[in-house]
Structure 1
Amino acid sequence: MIALAALPVILATLLIGARGIATLRTTSDFLVASRRISPTLNAAAVSGEYLSAASFLGVAGLVVKNGVGALWYPVGFTAGYLLMLVLVAAPMRRTGALTVPDFAEARLGSPRLRRFSALVVLVIAGLYLVPQFTAAGQVLTVVGGTPYWVGVVVAGASVAITLALGGMRAATYVQAFQFVLKLVLFIVPAVWLLLAVGADTRREALHPAEYSRFPAATEVQFRLDTRLEVREPITVVADGVPRTLGPGEHVAPEDGRWIFPAGGRVPEIRGVALPGSEPWQRPLLDNGSGHPLLATWSVLVATALGTMGLPHVIVRFHTNPDGRAARRTAAITVGLLGTFYLFPAVYGLLGGILLPELYLSGATDTAVVALPSRVDGGVAGTVFTALLTAGAFAAFLATSLGLVLALAGAVAHDLLPGGLRRLRVSAIVAAAVVVPLALLAVRIDVGAVVTSAFAVAASTFCPLLVLGIWWRRLTPRGAFVGMTVGLLSSAGVMGASLLLRPEPGLTALLLGQPALWSVPLAFLTMILVSLADDAPPGAESTMLRLHLDETRTP
């Protein structure tokens, strides 16, 4: 029954989308809402779109899994908007472009670069969108016991229908509504949890003890095949059969249900710190690399610079009437995001002491929706679980709307230009393609995959936008080669890391979180290749249009 809490969010999404039918007549209406969105409304919509599953569920889950250093993620997410405010927002709006590939051609006059940029949009949006649908399926499974595919299909259908009906205008109103909803449904349960757990638990959350022994008989359902390092003999009930594990390495099978005895020593997972341990409490990210400062900087580079390159975020500034309004949108967004990100720490720290066994199961993404029932097994716990489920579903839908819109724009406006009908069909097809991918990705770590999308965006579109806006010598060849290098050194290297699975250490860090070196490499490549070419014709006039305030008259 708790799963039904998502139903009002879905119905509201569809109703608001249906209201956009009357205003949807042109490509500009579909992609940028005819550039008539006010800064306040747009900021709420940007915030609603940006606060994805990685924010609503992922940050708290990463705190449970990796420790308090995971709180650097929201720092990077919010800092990205400060950089966007200073470097990108107003000039991007002044280009008159409808998409990021549109900007590439408008600035550099290269249809080939536009088509390549559209392919990069497909990569980034795909990496970001699959985890949204995956998280929708996981949450409904955890709170309501529904089959995983139900949440995935419902999320995909809701997004496709909303966009096909109302385009960007519908998405804007839906996302603004869902931001307010998420803010309320995230803050109110957090306050209730803090009051319900009591002073002792609050004190323990701030000064946690290492989760070294099971305080009671604990059932763990493993999401993936998991290698456990056992330090002392322990007898577990594995899928109903008692089994004694001696010291050494053992594998818990995917979907296995093991019950660990009270007082037994908690097994360890290589490269993952025990909740409450000294590495877990260190205010830096490590992930078993042994280089926490380097890992932290890599995540900050990916999240802060990647924000500037996310295609579904960039297009938002094209919906404002002018550059000044785009800048105001970015400024308001920083405040809204800052308010939201005060609270993931509450869920993460409480999850670390109340649900530490999730570290073993690999299901830390579900910590937020699992906390209320752990604190209160009665009506109150059920009610707040339902509220958080509704908020989580709002997060999936709001972000997915922007991502599917970016996919539709890349296909039907940049790769295969067509009219309004093709855009609508592309939105439905994009969702239909992503749903099967999400069905296959049931075991992925939502936060980790979303971070990979940020790394690709930081290594490709961030250099294109920053140099394209602020450096007149950028050439089409320089942009093309630089983005190719950025794409290969981010997405290519991360894909190779998944195949090679290097042992935890510096090599694993540089391959799994490449933004620290892939972003400078992309920038340097663009600059060096461009210096070997002549500046494109019309660069001076294009730069003037980007930087002159269009609201002023002579």
Structure 2
Amino acid sequence: MTISLAVIGVVCVVTWVISVYGLRLSRTTSDFYVASRRVPPWLNASAIAGEYLSAASFLGVAGLILAYGTHGLWFPVGYTAGFLVLLVFVAAPLRRSGAYTIPDFVTLRLPSAPLRRLTAMIVVFTGWFYIVPQLHGSSLALRATTDLPGWVGPVIVVAVVLPIVMSGGMRSVTVAQAVQYWLKLSALLIPTVFILLRLGLLDAPALPDASAVFVSGLVEGPGGDGTAHLYRILSLVAALMLGTLGLSHVLVRFYTNPDGPSARRTTLLLLALLVGFYLLPVVLGVTARAVLPTTSADSSDQAILHLPATVFDGATGDMLTALVAGGAFAAFLSTASGLVVSISGVVSQEFFGGTVRGFRIGAMVAIVLPLILTGLTSDLALAGSVAMVFTFTACSLAPVMLLGIWWRGLTTTGALAGMLAGASMCLVALVIGIALDSQTPGAGESGLAVPLRYPALWCIPFAFAVTVLVSRFGPTAPPVSADEVLARLHTPERARPT
């Protein structure tokens, strides 16, 4: 539709304008990597919310509620709870580390070239596979709201994101993502208000029957028995909570705060922004489950794109649909830009000496492979594919991040063993689980296949156990710098000697 294309175009133009502004501000290497560590909490909280609320949050949460009922409600719970864990255990120490990237932090805590290379590989790997759902989401949104072919959506995202990152780095991306959070919030809030008012003004006999909205999925969820459903919930929440600690594009944001206390204030503000946002896809998902006709799980991600036209006829429905499409593209752009920045920083640091030129080369590397993978893979459920990324980071990076901040006894050998064990076991489980489900649809949602599709509940403790046991009984000792680094991480800036 013409209106949808126009709104998507406005979102892209606004993002480009902000990138030009960022080009004027970004002059130094520190500007490109961490915005010179001068981002205030209110701006940083909006920017983190902008990049964190991805395709899975904007479209996927409502789609899961439509397809599976209450099972879908655990996604916003897990996403938000992840930042509570981040606030309590990671935010301030991470900022005090003074590092640019996750490999920088790991190297500060455990000086080791092999460990740094492994960490960098995992960061780039997860970043690539997190970008793919954003590109799939743009394809889905464009197909659902316009007559254009799906491949145009990923091309638009790449054409907008790449100039932003290459021109202004972290500084321009920060401002763009902060603006995009408020665009996304408005793009869901306005249709939600209109839809609720419309349904509330209808006569009682004309209202959809919402009494059985959550009957399906209330006890058993997406297939299987009650025990399997409980396991899925616990494993999902564990993955989303701890997976946040391993998301490089989120953690790098805390390096942009001036100090540790401002990092904590950023996280508190962020929690409020996330709660305010997640109320909207939940409401829209419940409404879609009551209003829309029966929808398969494969097409449920389009729920909130079709909902306005189902409730309203004519121009009103078209305008609200266009607004949702524009907000969806803001989600794809903000998350993809954050991921490209984090990958670019790692690539530049590891292969180009941390230069601005290397950062720009890294941006190209960060976006080309996901674009190819998008063309070679089919659309998965957005929330489900992102949940797999969270599961992988929770099993590979999160144990080393937490133990590195809070346990003096962590050794290089223990970190390497735990990271390799968690990453490999998680990948093997996910691949086998997906293969079983592809051969027999639904097999991955019941029986012994459930722990393979949802491995976080056993894989995370396994990674922690390997890390601790190898650190305690392995051949190496904690680095001699451990006490000094831990004192730096946990001593407030104002209490340090001058």
TM > 0.5 between the two? yes
**Aligned equivalents of 1:456 and 1:525: distance in 2?**
16
Q: Using the alignment, how far apart are the partners of 1:368 and 1:529 within structure 2?
A: 48
Between structures 1 and 2, the one with greater helix share: 2
Select which of 446, 462, 465 maps to 2:398. 462
**1:345 alignment partner AA:** V
The 1:201–1:487 alpha-carbon spacing in structure 2 relative to 1, beyond 3 Å, is: farther
1:281 to partner: Cα distance = 3.5
The residue that corresponds to 1:328 in the other structure is 265
In the other structure, the counterpart of 2:376 is 440
- CA deviation vs aligned residue, 1:473-517 (integer Å, no higher than 9, x gap): 101110111011111121232122222336242322111111111
In 2 relative to 1, CA 538–391 (structure 1 residues): closer, same or farther, beyond 3 Å? same
TM-fit CA distance, 1:415: 4.7
The aligned counterpart of 1:17 is 19
Alpha-carbon spacing, 1:203–1:74, altered in 2? closer, same or farther (3 Å):
farther
Task: Judge conservation of contact 1:90–1:326 (CA < 8 Å) in 2.
Answer: yes
Work out the CA distance in 1 between the residues paired with 2:164 and 2:412.
Answer: 36
Equivalent in the alignment of 1:526? 467
Tell me by how many angstroms 1:358 deviates.
2.2
Match of 2:5 in 1: 3
- Please, which moves more after superposition, 439-448 or 187-196? 439-448
Distance between the aligned counterparts of 1:528 and 1:281, measured in 2? 40
Contact 1:205 1:349 in 2 (8 A): no
Task: Specify the alignment match of 2:113 in structure 1.
Answer: 111
Q: Which runs of 5+ in 1 are unaligned?
A: 209-275
Contact between 2:69 and 2:215, CA under 8 Å: does it hold in 1?
no
Which residue type is aligned with residue 121 of structure 2? Answer: L
Q: Is the 8 A contact 1:118 1:415 kept in 2?
A: no
Q: Which has the larger radius of gyration?
A: 1
Kept in 2: contact 1:411–1:417 (CA 8 A):
no
CA-to-partner distance for each residue in 1:241-272, whole Å, 9 max, x for gaps? xxxxxxxxxxxxxxxxxxxxxxxxxxxxxxxx
Q: Which position in structure 2 is the counterpart of 1:306? A: 243
Partner of 2:29: 27
C-alpha distance in 2, partners of 1:303/1:202?
39
Q: CA deviation at 1:111?
A: 1.8
Counterpart of 2:457? Answer: 516
Query: Mapping of 1:114-153 within 5 angstroms?
Result: 114-153=116-155
Pair 1:158-2:95 in alignment = no
Provide the aligned length of Structure 1 versus Structure 2: 485
C-alpha separation between the residues in 2 aligned to 1:109 and 1:38? 31
Deviations 1:426-457 (A, max 9, x none): 21232122112112234221111100010011
Question: In structure 2, do the counterparts of structure 1 residues 416 and 456 end up closer, same or farther at CA, with 3 Å as the change threshold?
Answer: farther
The structure-2 alpha-carbon separation of the partners of 1:540 and 1:289, relative to structure 1 and needing over 3 Å to count, comes to same
Q: How far apart are the structure 1 equivalents of 2:235 and 2:45?
A: 27
- The answer to whether the 8 Å contact 1:33/1:168 transfers is yes
Q: In structure 1, how many angstroms separate the alpha carbons of the residues matched to 2:223 and 2:27? A: 50
SS of corresponding position for 1:358: coil
In structure 2, the residue matched to 1:537 is 480
Q: Which residue of 2 aligns with 1:402?
A: 338
Separation (CA, whole Å) in 1 of partners of 2:51 and 2:494: 28
RMSD across aligned positions (CA): 1.7
Aligned runs of 1:51-90 on 2, under 5 Å? 51-90=53-92
Q: Mark the CA change 1:106 to 1:289 in structure 2 (over 3 Å): closer, same or farther.
A: farther
C-alpha distance in structure 1 between counterparts of 2:46 and 2:205, whole Å: 34
1:43-58 equivalent positions in 2, closer than 5 A: 43-58=45-60
* 1:322–1:551 contact (8 Å) kept in structure 2: no
Residues 256-295 of structure 1: pairs in structure 2 closer than 5 A:
276=213, 278-282=215-219, 285-288=221-224, 290=226, 291-295=228-232
Give the C-alpha shift of residue 416 in structure 1. Answer: 4.8
| Partner in structure 2 of residue 386 of structure 1 | 322
What is the 5 A alignment of 1:348-367? 348-359=285-296, 362-367=298-303
* Cα distance change of structure 1 residues 359 and 20 upon mapping to structure 2, 3 Å threshold: same
Give the alignment partner of residue 284 of structure 2, picking from 347, 365, 381: 347
Shift of 1:539: 0.6
Contact 2:224 2:447 in 1 (8 A): no
State percent identity of aligned pairs.
41
C-alpha separation between the residues in 2 aligned to 1:202 and 1:132?
A: 37
How far 1:411 sits from its partner (Å)?
Answer: 1.4
CA distance in structure 1 between the partners assigned to 2:182 and 2:354 by the alignment: 35
What corresponds to 1:214 in structure 2? Answer: none
In structure 2, do the counterparts of structure 1 residues 277 and 72 end up closer, same or farther at CA, with 3 Å as the change threshold? closer
Higher strand share: 1
- In the superposition, the TM-score normalised over structure 2's length comes to 0.94
| Aligned positions of 1:191-202 closer than 5 A | 191-198=193-200, 200=204
- Structure 2 unaligned blocks of 5 or more: none
Cα gap change, 1:153/1:485 in structure 2, threshold over 3 Å: closer, same or farther? same
Question: One-letter code of the match for 1:297?
Answer: L
**Stretch deviating more after TM superposition (84-93 or 487-496):** 487-496
Which residue, out of 402, 425, 432, partners 2:361? 425
